[in-house]
Every structure is written in C-alpha cells, then in structure tokens.
Amino acid sequence: MTPVSQQHLDDLAISRKEYGLIVSRLGREPNLLELGLFGSLWSEHCGYKHSKMLLKQFPHKSPRVLVGPGEENAGAVDIGDGLAVVMKVESHNHPSAVEPFQGAATGVGGIVRDIFTMGARPIALLNSLRFGPLSEPRNRYLFGGVVGGISSYGNCLGIPDVAGEVSFSSTYTHNPLVNAMCVGLIESRKLVSAVARGAGSLLVLIGADTGRDGIHGASGLASRTFEEQRELRSTVQVGNPFLEKVLIEACLELVDKKLIEGMQDLGAAGLTSASVESAARGGSGVDLDVSRVPRREAGMTPYEVMLSESQERMLLVVRPEKLDAVLGVCAKWDILATVIGRVVPGDVARIREGRKTVGAVPVPLLSDPPLYRIHGRKPRALSRLQSADMGATPLPRRTPGRILRALLASPNIASKLSVYQQYDHMVLDNTLVAPGEGDAAVLRIKGTRKAIALAIDGNGRQCYLDPETGGAMAVAEAARNVVCAGAEPIAATNCLNFGNPEKSDVAYQLVHCTRGMARACRALELPIISGNVSLYNETQGEAIYPTPVIGVLGLLERAHRRCTMGFKNEGDLVYLLGPLTSAAADLAGSEYLERVHGLVQGRPAISLDTESRVQRACLDGIRAGIVRSAHDCSDGGLAVAIAESAIAGGLGVHIETNMAGRWDALLFGEPPSRIVVSVAPEDARQLESLARRRGAPLRRIGVVQGRRFVWTGWLDEPVSRLADAWRHGLERAAR
C-alpha cells in the first residue's frame, strides 16, 4: 500500500501522531476510505478532542431534563402538559467565512434537522452573529450574505426567526461567527432516538441525492485555521429549503405513525457520522452498500459518497416489515427513499461497493477519538490589560447627551430592525413578543396557558479581558434576558467559539471560560442540555475573541404575565434592581470605553449571588403583575438601558439619581446584575417588599413623564432624537 501523504493527512486534519494511533488500534494501515472515516469522526468538529473533558463540568441534570448533552442530536426538557421542548445551538462559522449566503443558509438547515430528527416540530429560530467593522467592504459583504442566507432558508421553511444578536469587532474581520439555534415542540412520549439497533433493521436514506459538496467539511474546514489562501468553496454545501420543508413533514409523519426505530440527519461528515454514530449508540454494527446511494454526479468514489455533506438527507432505521409503509409516506411527499444497508450483529462498520468490501472498521474505534486535556497559560498582555488604572482614563470632553446618541447609534447597540425585518417572525402565529419588543422572544404554547421565552447572548470582549468572569457573565445575561420577559430559566444550550486550542493563550481562554460558565449555571440552577464547540476560528495567527454564546429557554406558566422593555404609562416609577455604582472599574470592557476612548481593558466582575437575587426579585414582581416593564442593563450601561425603554414605550423619563464618582461610569459603565423596571406608584411598596425578601438591591431612580430623557445634571434629550440614532444607527453604518 502506498504510504499516506502528509497532504492527505492535512486535508483530514489528522496529525502524524494520531495516524500512528489509528494504525496501532486498528492493527494495520487503513486504506484511504477508512482513513477518511477516522479523519471525519476524529475531527474536532465531530470528536471534540480538545473540549470534551471541559464539557463534563457543565451541570446537565434537573427534574425537567429528558435528554441531556451528547445523548442525542439535541437536548429535551419537560415543560408540563405532556410536552417537551427540544433545542440546540450550532455554529457554521467557517463555511460562512468562505461562502456567506450558503454557509449561513445550510447552518439553519442543519440545526433544524437536529430538532426534527428527534421527532419535534421546529417552532422557532434564533441566531447569534459576529462580524468585523462595517466600514470595510468585505465585512459588509459577509454581513449581507449571512443575513440573506438565514432569512432565505428560514422563511422558506416557514419557521419564525424570533430573537438573536448581532455584534461587530475587528477581531471577527476574517472569521465571522454564525451561530444558529432552533427550538422544537413535541409530545414527550414521542421523542425519537438516533440509534441503530436490532440486527436485521434496514438503513434507509431519504432526501436529496448525494453530490461532491461539503467533502472534508468537518475535518478540513471546521477543524483547522485559515492559515493559507486556498480554494475552499467545494467544502461549503448548497442548501434546498423547499426540499427540507417536505422532509420535515415526511419525517414527522413517520414518527407520528410509529414507522421508524431511529432517525439521524446527515450533517457534518455526512453518511459516515450518521451511520457510525447511530451504530455506536445502539451497540451494533452496520453494513452499507455505497453503490445504492443515489448520486447527482457521475464517477463518485466510495470515499466521496461516505464523506459528502450534501444537505437535506436523513438516515432512517426501519424494521423490514414496515419498509413498504415508510416508502409509501416518502412517495406521498415526493421524497426519494433508498435502502442502502442494514444493522448487523457485532461492532463493525462495513462499507461495500456492490459485493466488494472497500472498508471495514470497528465502530468503537471510530467513535473513540483521542481526548486532550488542555491547560494553557495566562498571557502577560492580559495581566497588563486587567491591571490598567481605569481611574486614569480622562473624562471625555463631549457632553453626556452626545455620547449617549453615539452609543445608541453604535452597530453593537443600535436597533437590529434592518436585520430582523428580513426574517418572518410571525409565521405559525405563536409569537407574543417579537424582536425588538423585549429582551427575549415569547411564544405561546397552543392548547395550554403556557408560553416559552427564548434568548441568545454572549460578549467576546468581556471574555477576552477575563475568560472566567466573562463566561459567567454570558450565562447570567442570557438568563436575565429571559427573566425580563417574565419567564423562569429552565434550560440552556451553548456554542463555544474559540481560536486554536493547541495554542497556550487560547487553551487558557477555553479552560477558564467553561469554568466560569459552569459556575454560573450551577449558581442559577440552569442545566446545559445541548451544545456545540467551534474551534480554530483563526486566520494567519490572529484568533477571534473567546466567544461563548448561550441560548436560554424560560417557561411562563401564564402567557398573559409576559413583560416587555418599553415604559407603559406616564407617572410610573422607575427603579433599578441591582447595584447603582459609579466606580471607574465598571468601565471595564464597556462599549463606551472602546467607542469613546479606543480602549479594551480592565477586569469585569460579577457576584453570582447578587445576580440570582436580582433575577428572582424581578421574576417575583412580574408574576405578581406589578412590574410593567423590565429591561436588562448591558451594552452601553444604565443610560442606554433607560433610553431604550423610553424609545420602546414612546415616553419620556426623568432620572434624579446622582452619586460621587465618575459620571461616565454612572451613565455608561457595564457592571452586570442590573434590571431597569417600572411600576405604578401604588405598587411601589410591594416591589420594595419583594426585593427585600430576596435580598436584592433596589433603588428608585426616576419617573416616566413627558417626551424627553432628562437625567438631572447630565442629560436632557428629546426621546425622538435618541430614537432616530438608535433606529437608524446600523443601517447608516452599513452604507
């Protein structure tokens, strides 16, 4: 056999040491097809080699959790009334950097398949996006392509895109982040497993023909950095949302009629991962005949068929006596269905081309990649940034009003109307709180009094300055957003976006970010039920900010108790739940510090005990029906949060709070664990009592009145002028 070339190992992202391990475990040299199987399943994207040990620290159990992380394609949590919510977030960063429209579109398609693979009907999409500054043409191209791909695919599927976030920083110029989240609903008893068990069961491939698109996507594109200029478009898949739509309906009908034993989507690594991972879950072997796989291109080799990542394909496990019924359902929906193999005794994945065996590898070897325990070392530069004298930052010459307008117009803070107006967020008629109306989306659960709240969040700048604290703050903010909608956070999913974990500084970031996230999840009693890891987000040695993204699910037992961020009535009192402070340290990692002073420095801090108390007090007030508006303080600080509530409500506000310290920190500092709420005057005592009972800081800071935002001593701006800056900031920056 010809020795394997270094180029082929590089294409598969397999090191020479890992190749030696494969030979040792297999007891022989693998052929090129078998090596391709190892390359895909041992890739970072599929095998989580540098992160699996870290993921074990996340809490993943609660009385509501039905399916936890790694057990199936997505996590599932009980919401009562015999119903479960299935959810997951996943990245499509590298494909979107190469081909933004198709990369983002197929990212949506892939996460949707993860949901209906479990038998759940997809009911909502969310996304978390990061780009470089819009002043650069390339970034504007990526931004437009990604948003266009998400809207095109999601709208064609008829799934509402209800919430998300978009941020901009030079660190993402060459590596945009495209994280897509999907949520589905199912009767708990109908949950489907992606498992191949029962010798003699048939493996049925349904959906699109197989082409050459996406080969080496998991190993070659998602598991290494962009270090060289090379043609990568062939690794990006092309989606067909109209086919996926009928695929959803066909698969859900098969589930409803109890015609299948298991179901798995063909995502990363295509048929390889779908068949081998299903066999691993079932403790069985599989026998596949690649000559039976329908193809749309002539001359495809078994290697290409097994590693293709062509979209809109599903693998079904079917008992022989139910095959005709399965084929009948597929024919009804005009979906191609082909028997390509069967479940067999033992533990070998055998690949045949007709009668000829072209590859045979034990499933346990393929599904057991080497795991690396990483540590990393804190960079000296980070210590310097953290120890910077924040008090030495000069106070700006610009007036507070001018700064507030500039922050409201910043693409990181400004309304994302120009993005989400491209998404259909009302289809299915479940959306009660739409994008821009609150800190989280709220969807009714038809047939019940319940609703769910959904939010997705992250802050790479804070994680860069202090990975552990930043990781905790990301979890806290996403949960806080759901609480502001009136929902109790009950489960979370995450997507960990980092650079090259083989480098010490990135390893340090990954270790400490996950540690902080786990600590926050435990403090807030929030189990992680699913997720994804995206590493090697790096170009020519420059890594992105460490960017863990958190999607949180909240439950409202009574949908009518939902809350939004806009002030509601003249005369309502405005309170701050959480600490009021004007310390220079509060400027750490703030939008103000970077936009006004050009600095990214300081050390963010969080008290998870305070965070928990604030969230509980806010939730108590909303459930009691006394909190009329609630809005999280985050990017831009307290002044921006108050302004956004005024803009959303079309009402003015008079703030009378002042204190010793820095006025810029008071107005624009970004300490966590703070929520701006408003109540009717007659409910003020009850709110104060609820806060005392929870031990949460609470301070009355003003009153809703007029049409101006007045902060005595600092600000006096027409709300209409602030609204213009906020509503049009993003589109003006994108011109």
Rounded CA separation 457/476 (Å): 9
Q: Which residues are catalytic?
A: 45, 92
Contact status, residue 138 vs residue 343, Cβ threshold 8 Å: no
Question: Beta 161-168 vs 542-543: how paired, if at all?
Answer: unpaired
pTM of the model: 0.95
Paired tokens of 651: 């009402």
- Closest CA relative to residue 548, chosen from 416, 673, 456: 456
In one-letter notation, the amino acid at residue 539 is T
Instruction: Answer whether residue 503 shows pLDDT above 80.
Output: yes
What confidence score (pLDDT) does residue 267 get? 86
Q: How many CA atoms lie within 13 A of 204 on its CB side?
A: 30
Q: Which H/E stretch holds residue 83?
A: strand 83-91
Residues 6+ apart with CB under 8 A from 471: 463, 512, 513, 514, 515, 516, 517, 520, 548
Closest Cα partner for 216 from 495, 73, 19, 10?
Answer: 10
> Of 291, 292, 296, nearest to 312 (Cα)?
296
Q: What percent of the chain has pLDDT over 70?
A: 97
Inform me whether the pLDDT recorded for 664 exceeds 90.
yes
Do 279 and 231 contact (CB within 8 A), yes or no?
Answer: no
Residue 729 near residue 411, CB atoms below 8 Å? yes
Which carries the bigger pLDDT value, residue 625 or residue 228? 625
230 band by pLDDT with thresholds 50, 70 and 90: very low
| Spatial distance between the Cα atoms of 342 and 656, rounded to a whole number of angstroms | 73
Alpha-carbon distance 219 to 115, whole Å?
23
Q: What is 563-735's CATH topology? A: Phosphoribosyl-aminoimidazole Synthetase; Chain A, domain 2 (3.90.650)
Question: Which contiguous run of DSSP H or E holds residue 24?
Answer: helix 16-26
Q: Are 129 and 166 in contact (CB under 8 A)?
A: yes
Helices 719-733 & 400-409 angle (0-180, nearest 10): 40
3-state secondary structure of 337: strand
* pLDDT exceeds cutoff 90 at 12: no
Q: Could you read off the pLDDT of 231-243 as tens digits, one per residue? A: 444 457 788 999 9
Average pLDDT, integer, range 216-240: 58
Task: Quote the pLDDT of residue 625.
Answer: 97
What's the whole-number average pLDDT of the chain? Answer: 94
Q: Which of 468, 474, 561, 462 is nearest to 526 (CA)?
A: 474
pLDDT band at 734 (very low <50, low <70, confident <90, very high): confident
E strand map for 219-271:
262-265
Angstrom distance (rounded) from CA 520 to CA 530: 16
Question: Nearest-CA neighbor of 643 among 468, 413, 349?
Answer: 413
**What distances in angstroms separate CA 343 from CA 136, 408, 664, one per listed residue?**
53, 58, 66
Among 410-414, 654-658, 705-709, name the one with the lowest average pLDDT: 654-658
> How confident is the model over 479-488, as a mean pLDDT?
98
Angle at 661 between CA 659 and CA 663, to 5 degrees: 80
Question: Positive or negative, the Cα torsion across 105, 108, 113, 116?
Answer: negative
What pLDDT score was predicted for residue 472?
Answer: 98
d(CA 457, CA 552): 9
pLDDT at 233: 46
Contact in structure between 86 and 75 (CB atoms under 8 Å): yes
* Confidence at residue 231, expressed as pLDDT on a 0 to 100 scale: 45
- Cβ proximity of 125 and 90 under 8 Å: no
At residue 169, the 3 state secondary structure works out as coil
- What local confidence, expressed as pLDDT, does residue 224 receive? 54
d(CA 655, CA 201): 69
Asked whether the predicted pLDDT for residue 607 surpasses 60, the reply is yes
Mean pLDDT of the 106-122 span: 96
CB atoms closer than 10 angstroms to residue 501: 22
Confidence class for position 735, pLDDT limits 50, 70, 90: confident
Say which DSSP state 677 is in.
E
Position 223 pLDDT exceeds 70: no
Q: Report the residue count for the chain.
A: 735
Residues in contact with 301: Cβ distance below 8 Å, sequence separation at least 6, in sequence order: none
Burial class (CB in 10 A: 0-12, 13-18, 19+), 384: exposed
Distances (CA, A) of 209 to 212, 241, 268, 300: 10, 14, 16, 12
Q: Which of 526, 411, 422 is nearest to 125 (CA)?
A: 422
Q: What is the pLDDT of residue 11?
A: 80
pLDDT of residue 227: 55
Strands 121-131, 177-187: pairing kind: antiparallel
Residues in a beta bridge with 356: 353
Band the pLDDT of 217: cuts 50, 70, 90.
low
The whole-number pLDDT of residue 540 equals 84
Q: For residue 177, give the nearest of 165, 162, 161 by alpha carbon.
A: 165
* Residue 612 backbone phi and psi in degrees, to 5: -65, -40
| Beta strand 121-131 pairing with 161-168 | parallel
The alpha carbon of 8 is separated from its chain's Cα centroid by a whole number of angstroms, namely 32
Which pLDDT belongs to residue 4? Answer: 81
Task: Give the C-alpha separation, 566 to 733, whole Å.
Answer: 25
- At residue 215, the pLDDT reads 77
Beta-carbon contacts of residue 55 (< 8 Å; ≥ 6 apart): 48, 69, 70, 514, 531, 533
Average pLDDT over residues 592-603: 97
Task: Give yes or no for a contact between 349 and 366, defined as CB atoms under 8 angstroms apart.
Answer: yes
Mean local confidence (pLDDT), 694-714: 97
At residue 144, does pLDDT exceed 60?
yes
Counting beta carbons within 10 angstroms of the beta carbon of residue 700, is it exposed (0 to 12), middle (13 to 18) or buried (19 or more)? Answer: middle
Count of alpha carbons within 13 Å of 182, Cβ hemisphere only?
A: 28
CB proximity list for 365: less than 8 A, separation 6 or greater: 22, 25, 26, 38
C-alpha closest to that of 374 among 69, 60, 70, 52: 52
Give bridge partners of residue 687 from the DSSP assignment: none
Q: Pick from 105, 91, 231: which is nearest to 544 by CA?
A: 91
Domain boundaries, the chain: 563-735
Neighbours of 557 (CB within 10 A): 15
| Residue 550 near residue 517, CB atoms below 8 Å | yes
Q: What is the pLDDT of residue 103?
A: 94
Q: What is the dihedral of CA 128, 678, 433, 437, to 10 degrees?
A: -60
pLDDT tens for residues 280-317?
999 999 999 999 999 999 999 999 999 999 999 999 99
